[in-house]
C-alpha cells in the first residue's frame, strides 16, 4: 500500500531527525555546559559542589564534593593536588545555595579551607579602606599590609622594626618613615577596621584568596597527611616484618614437630 510506505518513510525521517537532534544537543551540552554531569550528580545525591578557584589567574573549576568514606573530613577531589577540608569540620561557612538543594562551597587551589561571600567582602573592605584612609601605607604590598594588620599588638613593634630594616632603603626613596610611625599607622588601621562595617557589592573570590594572610597551602596539608601516613606505614611495616618472622619461625617449628612425629610413628610402627 502507498499510504503505508509514506508512513514508514515519515517514521524513518522523524527517527533520523530525532537522533540527529539528540546528538547535536548532546554534543552542544558537552561542549558548552561541561559541568552538567557534576550538577546532576550533586543534586541527585545531595553532594556539595566545589568551586575551585586559582587565585593567580582567577580561573575556576566545578568539582563534585565526594568523599572516600562517609564522615571523612576532606573531599576527594581526584587529580587536583592539595586538600580541601569539608566546611562542616573547619568552621561556619555559609555556602551559596541554589534551587533544588544545590550547595556550592568556594575553595582555592592554594588554601585547604573554604571561605564564603562575607569573608571575601571583608577582605575586600579591609584593603580598600586602609588604602583609602592611609595613603602613607601605600609602599606596602597587599601581602605585607595584610600580614601587618594580622599581627598581634604585642609583636607589632618588633615586626614594624624588621620591616623598616628590611625595606628601609627602598622606602627611603619615597618617604622617610620610622618604625614607630609605621607601628602607629598599623595600630590606627586596626582600630578603624574594628569599627568598619563590611561593605556589600561585587567581590572576587580569587582576589580574596590571594589576599588571605596565611601562606599555609592546601599542598602543605597534603604533604603533612602524606608524612604522617608514611610514618604510620613504616611503623606498621616494622611490626609486620617482626610478625612475619615469628610466623615463619612458628611454622618451621611446627613442621619439625610434625615431621618428628611422623618419623617416630614410621620407625616405631
Please give the residue ranges that form the binding site for another protein (CB under 8 A).
141, 143-144, 146-148, 150-152, 154-155, 158-159, 162-163, 165-166, 212-216, 220, 223-224, 227-228, 230-231, 234-235, 238
What minimum distance in Å lies between the beta carbon of 195 and another protein? 24
Cβ 93 to another protein, closest distance in Å?
Answer: 19
Sign of the torsion angle spanned by Cα atoms 221, 81, 217, 75: negative
| DSSP letter assigned to residue 210 | H
Nearest residue (CB) to another protein, 81 versus 216: 216
* DSSP category for residue 85: B
51: helix, strand or coil = strand
CB 179, CB 115: distance < 8 Å: no
**Residue closer to another protein, measured from CB, 37 or 235:** 235
Comparing CB distances to another protein, the nearer of 58 and 168 is 168
Minimum distance between the CB of residue 199 and another protein, rounded to whole angstroms?
23
Of 60 and 144, the one with the shorter C-beta distance to another protein is: 144
Report the nearest approach of another protein to the CB of residue 105 (Å).
Answer: 22
Q: Are 36 and 64 in contact (CB under 8 A)?
A: no
Of 64 and 137, nearer to another protein (C-beta) is 137
Helices 117-133 and 142-149 pack at an angle, to 10 degrees, of 100
- Collect all residues with Cβ–Cβ distance below 8 Å to 39 and sequence separation of at least 6: 49, 62, 102
Give the nearest distance from C-beta 144 to another protein in angstroms.
Answer: 5
Amino acid at each position: 500500500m502507498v499510504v503505508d510506505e509514506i508512513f514508514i518513510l515519515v517514521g524513518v525521517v522523524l527517527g533520523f531527525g530525532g537522533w540527529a537532534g539528540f546528538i547535536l544537543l548532546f554534543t552542544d551540552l558537552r561542549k558548552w555546559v561541561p559541568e552538567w554531569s557534576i550538577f546532576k550528580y550533586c543534586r541527585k545525591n545531595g553532594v556539595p559542589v566545589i568551586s575551585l578557584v586559582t587565585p593567580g589567574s582567577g580561573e575556576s573549576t566545578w568539582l563534585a564534593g565526594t568523599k572516600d568514606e562517609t564522615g571523612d573530613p576532606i573531599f576527594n577531589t581526584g587529580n587536583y593536588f592539595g586538600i580541601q577540608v569539608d566546611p562542616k569540620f573547619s568552621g561556619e561557612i555559609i555556602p551559596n545555595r541554589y534551587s533544588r538543594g544545590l550547595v556550592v562551597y568556594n575553595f582555592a587551589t592554594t588554601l585547604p579551607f573554604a571561605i564564603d561571600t562575607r569573608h571575601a567582602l571583608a577582605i575586600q573592605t579591609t584593603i580598600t579602606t586602609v588604602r583609602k584612609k592611609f595613603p602613607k601605607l601605600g609602599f606596602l604590598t597587599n601581602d605585607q599590609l595584610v600580614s601587618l594588620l594580622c599581627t598581634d599588638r604585642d609583636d607589632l613593634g618588633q615586626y614594624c622594626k624588621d620591616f623598616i630594616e628590611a625595606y628601609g632603603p627602598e622606602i627611603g626613596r619615597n618617604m622617610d618613615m620610622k618604625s614607630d610611625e609605621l607601628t602607629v599607622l598599623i595600630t590606627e588601621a586596626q582600630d578603624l577596621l574594628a569599627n568598619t562595617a563590611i561593605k556589600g557589592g561585587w567581590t572576587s573570590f580569587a582576589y580574596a584568596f590571594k589576599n588571605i594572610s596565611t601562606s599555609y597551602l592546601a599542598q602543605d596539608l597534603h604533604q603533612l597527611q602524606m608524612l604522617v601516613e608514611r610514618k604510620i606505614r613504616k611503623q606498621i611495616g616494622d611490626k609486620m616484618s617482626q610478625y612475619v618472622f615469628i610466623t615463619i619461625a612458628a611454622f618451621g617449628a611446627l613442621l619439625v614437630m610434625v615431621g618428628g612425629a611422623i618419623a617416630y610413628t614410621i620407625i616405631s610402627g
